[in-house]
Amino acid sequence: MFFNINILSLMLGFFFANILSTVPAQTGDWNIMSGAIIVTFNELLNKIIYKKKYINKILLLSLLNNIKIGIIYGLFVDAFKLGS
């Protein structure tokens, strides 16, 4: 059951990455601001998650880490789509 929740949170992060890359870019003015917000959120979450010694013991931190990984993966996929 824990494996299914991890996969679901990874796919949720991938979905959030699609939202974050398409919605603010409609006007063209928010590209730099949305990138800065995503990087700041990512770094703050890294500081919280990796400060703890037992990351696998806490379910919420593990799920947030999987969502973060899904967001990063989704943004890489979108970058490859734009580059081709």
Entry pTM: 0.78
Residue 11 above 90 pLDDT? yes
Name, in order, each residue with C-beta under 8 angstroms of 11's C-beta and a sequence gap of 6 or more. Answer: 70
In the chain, domain spans: 2-83
pLDDT band for position 12 (cuts 50, 70, 90): very high
Question: For 44-54, what is the mean pLDDT?
Answer: 77
Residue pair 61/55 in contact (Cβ under 8 Å)? The answer is yes
Mean pLDDT of 51-74: 80
More confident residue, 32 or 65: 65
> Do residues 17 and 70 lie in contact, with contact meaning Cβ atoms separated by under 8 Å?
yes
One DSSP character per residue, 33-69 reads HHHHHHHHHHHHHHHHHHHSS-TTT-HHHHHHHHHHH
pLDDT digit string (tens) for 24-34? Answer: 767 666 777 77
